[in-house]
Amino acid sequence: MHPFTYVRAESLPSALDSARTEDTMFLAGGTELLNWARIGIESPSHLVDIGRLPRLHEITSTGDGLHIGALARLNDVAQDPRVETSYPVLSQSILRAASAQLRNLATIGGNPVQRTRCPYFRSNGPVACNKRVPGSGCAALHGANERLAIFGWTEDCVAVQPSDPAVALACLDAEIITEHVDGGRRIPATEFHTLPAEDPSAHNVLRPSELITGIEIGAPAPKSAYVKVRERQSYEFALVSAAAVVEVQDGVISRARLALGSVALRPWRLYDAEQALVGLRPGSPEVMDAVTSGFSASRPLSSNAYKIPLARNTALRALELALEAG
Ligand code: SF4
């Protein structure tokens, strides 16, 4: 492992001040960063441990929404009564995201930053991968791509983002709050991850030494649900997943939000389907057509055409469960 220096930050200003060089990384739960260092994905020369920063573990009510500190452990978020009752889609996505041991360690701010599980990206040996070595190509394009993208890919990268909570946060129109020595910002969860057409070597829009400090979600979404399809129920990344948030008035759908996971390098909102669902009666035959309308931009790779009907049916199931909830 590459040698590095380590400092434990006692305050947010000191953490930001300690991270002025580009090869500095922040350490929180460590469940992902230490893997990156072990297999050579990242070789930071300086680690700033933010695990004990005050107040970033807290979950606080804000008007009709919630502010979740970036250091809140996944299990603490999933089991918070306000999240369980008002945002079941987020609670369910977290409980399906990892084993109980990992959920006790990993943080809500760190989970969306995890990187693709593309086997070439995670490989130890030299391999064509534009995310590991920009300009080297994409071995997955004509290789082992069974689990990879059906939306938003280019020949430069066909990977998918694996975070489950990120899908729920995109469906909830959450915002990711950051701080940086040059100023913080609010990033819509739908725009946090970078598509390959923008930059095939990038993972998200964070600048070097930009720190996620919290996540804000708006009005309660009690009629919501998350469905994850995976090869084994005990612990596995998703083949596809879907988050759904709905509102019903006078017996018809008045608002719908649908997001898919593990189909692209960012949670993929089905905006056309969301519009088509408004005005439909839950359970009517037109609901399937409305969900299907969200798939006009889907494109399979050489070995993953199965993911298109699987994703459509997963979105439909999440929608059904959301309609039954609340
Ligand atoms: Fe690398 Fe992306 Fe291609 Fe995987 S899909 S080999 S991460 S460039």
Q: What is the pLDDT of residues 121-169, one digit of tens each?
A: 998 878 899 999 999 999 999 999 999 999 999 999 999 999 999 999 9
- Binned at pLDDT 50, 70 and 90, residue 1 comes out as low
Rounded distance between C-alpha atoms, residue 78 and residue 97, angstroms:
10
Strand pairing partners for 211? 179
Strand order of the β-sheet with 185-188 is 59-62, 65-69, 211-217, 175-179, 185-188
Mutate which of 116, 131, 198 for ligand 1 pocket (most atoms within 8 A of beta carbon): 131
Least confident segment among 212-221, 225-234, 281-290: 225-234
Residue 34 C-alpha to ligand 1 middle, in angstroms? 20
Rounded distance between C-alpha atoms, residue 273 and residue 287, angstroms:
9
Residue 198 has pLDDT above 90, yes or no: yes
Could you give the percent of the chain with pLDDT greater than 70?
100
Please give the pLDDT value at position 296: 97
H or E stretch covering 276? helix 271-277
Residue 158 C-alpha to ligand 1 middle, in angstroms? 6
Structure tokens at 321: 């469960």
Ligand 1 atom nearest residue 143's Cα: 6
Rounded distance between C-alpha atoms, residue 4 and residue 38, angstroms:
13
Question: What is the average pLDDT across 269-284?
Answer: 97
Q: Which residues' Cβ are closer than 6 Å to ligand 1?
A: 116, 118, 120-121, 129-131, 138-140, 157-159
Residue 145's φ and ψ, nearest 5 degrees, are: -120, 20
State the pTM of this model.
0.96
Residue 310 has pLDDT above 90, yes or no: yes
Residue 129 C-alpha to ligand 1 middle, in angstroms? 5
- Binned at pLDDT 50, 70 and 90, residue 326 comes out as confident
Closest to 172 in 3D by CA, of 265, 66, 307 = 66
Ligand 1 atom nearest residue 153's Cα: 5
- The structural domains of the chain, ordered by start, are 1-54 (3.30.43.10), 224-324 (3.30.390.50)
